[in-house]
Amino acid sequence: MKKDIHPKEYRAVVFKDMSNDTAFLSKSTIQTKDTIVWEDGNEYPLVKLEISNTSHPFFTGKVKLVDTAGRVDKFRSKYQRHLDKKE
């Protein structure tokens, strides 16, 4: 294993899922300008996440509907003549 390739300065950082306001404290080397006061009263750097295990459909078991009908219709209209040839 190569020596001295891993960062040595880990610090406590709060990661916050912005879709459901769930947050968790972990160690990281990520740099951020935002801060947040955590449950223990201390101020920590804040990393805003779009999705985490608390909001991802795989982990929650809830499937969110995504508007893909427009994409499918666009694809079909674009390649309709190729589809007609095969029929």
Question: Per-residue pLDDT tens for 48-87?
Answer: 988 777 776 655 666 655 555 677 777 777 877 776 766 6
Q: What is the pTM of this model?
A: 0.61
**Per mean pLDDT, which range of 5-9, 19-23, 47-51, 71-75 is the poorest?**
71-75
Residue 63 CA to residue 86 CA, distance in Å, equals 34
How far CA 20 is from CA of 2, 34, 53, in Å, comes to 40, 18, 11
Percent of the chain, pLDDT > 90? 38
Residue type at 60 in one-letter notation: T
